[in-house]
Amino acid sequence: MSRRAVFLDRDGVVVAAVVRDGKPFSPMTLEELRVLPGVPDALAKLHAAGYTLVVVTNQPDVARGAQAREVVDAMHDRLRHELPLDAVYCCFHDDADGCACRKPAPGMLRDAARDLDLDLAASFMVGDRWRDTEAGSAAGCRTIFVDHKYAERQPQTVDARVTSLPEAVVWILGVS
């Protein structure tokens, strides 16, 4: 029997993005990695409700040579240790690579569904950028947009707009 999941973008949803000139960027060091307020409790509520929790994150700075993969791996190890996450899927490619895993492509969500026996139609994607919600829609999930008012393209169609992961969890638990 397939399980339901909540897919979570990393930067801007689970951890604080580094915002410069209105645009979000990934933290570059373990010291910059900061779990956002309310996230541990929000994830605990989802976990208690029976959701599988999966981080799906684009980290193109590795392909661009601006970030070491070992640092990103250490960040994910720390998050798995500190939070009730079931899995972390990471795309290290850049747009030019044309991979199936880089959001807005749904590859990471589909891979997780296959690996973890997840029902995508009964699942949610929570993200703070258009790429996240488009990936969720393409995978057949309901989508929640965490709106930080970034100075960039906004998603066109989402199931809910919120200002934080704790607010998204209230919405998810209210509709499930």
Residue-by-residue DSSP string for 111-162: HHHHHHTB-GGG-EEEESSHHHHHHHHHHT-EEEEE----SS---S--SEEE
**Domain annotation covers residue 157:** no
**Domain annotation covers residue 174:** no
Of 14, 22, 3, residue with least CA distance to 127: 14
pTM here is 0.97
Q: How many domains does one find in the chain?
A: 1
**Domain annotation covers residue 19:** yes
Q: Is 95 a catalytic residue?
A: no
User: Given 9, 61, 128, 132, which residue is catalytic?
Assistant: 9
Query: Alpha-carbon distance 33 to 87, whole Å?
Result: 18
33-73 per-position pLDDT tens digit: 999 999 999 999 999 999 999 999 999 999 998 999 999 99
Domain of 37 in residue numbering reads as: 5-149
**Domain annotation covers residue 159:** no
- Cross-strand bridge partners of residue 35: 15
**Domain annotation covers residue 154:** no
What is the model's pLDDT at position 120? 98
**Domain annotation covers residue 34:** yes
**Domain annotation covers residue 176:** no
Of 83, 78, 105, residue with least CA distance to 94: 105
What is the model's pLDDT at position 176? 79
Q: What is the DSSP string of 56-91?
A: EEE-TTTTTTSS-HHHHHHHHHHHHHHS--SEEEEE
User: Given 11, 61, 128, 132, which residue is catalytic?
Assistant: 11
What is the model's pLDDT at position 1? 66
Q: Is 9 a catalytic residue?
A: yes
**Domain annotation covers residue 137:** yes
Residues of the chain with pLDDT under 50: none
Query: Alpha-carbon distance 51 to 137, whole Å?
Result: 18
* CATH code of the domain containing 32: 3.40.50.1000
Residues in CB range of 167: below 8 A, 6 or more apart: 146
Query: Alpha-carbon distance 159 to 157, whole Å?
Result: 7
